[in-house]
């Protein structure tokens, strides 16, 4: 029997493939590690443990080359990932290059729904501190199920967590309320010192937000018209 490919790219249309209502599409890169991979895995693990940044390059060609590890360019401090897809995600020319920069970082995650909960499970495995914000206290799991690197903030004024976040913070917005998403987006973009900003949504939502943000800036609305300023509630 022919063994499955060690590496492959798969294109998913989120609506028909996964039943997502927001549409759009993603390309996922799959890698199957074998015993023969232990050398580079061990080397990478040692570098990560020592806080040394490393660049990893991997090919998705039919007969892929060995994973290559190298030093990043001088002065590189941030993690990065780039998938060069050849022509239209043609695996024969696809190359994944990622900079693995092991360092502690801060994440502020807005939204405690199923997407937020899934992200927290992943972030629990990374060297980061997560501030998890939602106005719905009941949406959070019980304290014993919250990872050690996560601080829960049941807060009716989510922009407080934004104000308190240090420069370079990673912001992720996945709330259940588009109005709150828009207000947070405006506040985060106005800060301009974030390490990363991501938000869940469709292409249509993106275009609507772009239009509304431009309209608000033209009208001169200030930040006070953004996130509703209600009373703060602390977790029991």
Q: Which residues contact 35 (CB under 8 A, 6 or more apart)?
A: none
Does some domain include residue 202?
yes
As a whole number of angstroms, the distance between CA 109 and CA 129 comes to 10
Is residue 230 situated within a structural domain? no
Q: Measured between alpha carbons, how far is 164 from 155 in angstroms, rounded to an integer?
A: 13
pLDDT in tens, the chain (236 residues): 345 668 888 888 877 666 666 667 777 888 888 898 899 999 999 998 888 899 999 988 777 678 999 999 887 777 888 887 655 555 567 888 999 888 788 999 999 999 999 999 999 988 889 999 998 888 899 988 899 999 998 877 777 888 889 999 999 999 988 888 888 888 898 888 998 899 888 888 888 888 888 887 665 554 434 444 333 344 43
Q: Give the distance, in angstroms, between the CA of residue 48 and the centroid of all CA atoms in the same chain.
A: 20
Q: How many CA atoms lie within 13 A of 66 on its CB side?
A: 10
pLDDT (0 to 100) of residue 231: 36
Q: Do 121 and 55 belong to one domain?
A: no
Among 77, 100, 123, where does a domain finish? 100
Q: How far apart are CA 128 and CA 103, in angstroms?
A: 8
**Residue closest to 24 by CA, chosen among 209, 211, 201:** 201
Both structure tokens of 51: 């806080």
Residue 213 domain flag: yes
Please check whether residues 94 and 111 belong to one and the same domain: no
Number of CB atoms found within 10 A of residue 220's CB: 6
Q: Which residue, chain included where needed, has tokens 């709150």?
A: 180
Domain closes at, from 49, 66, 100:
100
Say if residue 133 is in the same domain as residue 209: yes
Burial class (CB within 10 angstroms; exposed 0-12, middle 13-18, buried 19+) of 143? exposed
* Residue 48 in domain: yes
Report the 10 Å Cβ neighbour count for 99: 17
The pLDDT of residue 186: 87
Q: Is 201 found in the same domain as 119?
A: yes
Residue 83: predicted pLDDT: 80
Residue 232 is assigned to a structural domain of this protein:
no
Which residue, 79, 100, 121, sits at the end of a domain?
Answer: 100
Residues 189 and 126 in one domain: yes
Q: Which residue segment(s) compose the domain that 87 sits in?
A: 7-100
């Amino acid at each position: 029997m022919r063994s499955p490919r060690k590496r492959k790219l798969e294109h998913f249309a989120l609506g028909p493939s996964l039943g997502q209502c927001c549409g759009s599409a993603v390309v996922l890169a799959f890698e199957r590690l074998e015993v023969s991979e232990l050398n580079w895995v061990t080397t990478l693990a040692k570098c990560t443990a020592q806080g040394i940044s490393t660049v990893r390059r991997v090919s998705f060609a039919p007969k892929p080359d060995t994973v290559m590890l190298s030093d990043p360019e001088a002065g590189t401090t941030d993690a990065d990932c780039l998938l060069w897809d050849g022509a239209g995600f043609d695996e024969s020319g696809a190359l994944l290059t990622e900079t693995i920069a092991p360092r502690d970082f801060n994440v502020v995650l807005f939204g405690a729904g199923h997407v937020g909960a899934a992200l927290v499970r992943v972030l629990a495995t990374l060297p980061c501190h997560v501030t998890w914000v939602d106005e719905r206290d009941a949406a959070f799991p019980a304290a014993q199920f919250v990872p050690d690197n996560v601080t829960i903030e049941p807060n009716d004024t989510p922009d407080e967590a934004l104000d308190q976040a240090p420069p370079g913070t990673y912001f992720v917005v996945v709330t259940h309320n588009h109005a709150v998403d828009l207000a947070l987006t405006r506040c985060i973009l106005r800060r301009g010192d974030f390490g990363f900003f991501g938000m869940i949504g469709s292409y249509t939502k993106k275009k609507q937000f772009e239009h509304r943000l431009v309209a608000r800036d033209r009208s001169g609305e200030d930040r006070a018209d953004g996130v509703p300023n209600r009373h703060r509630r602390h977790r029991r």
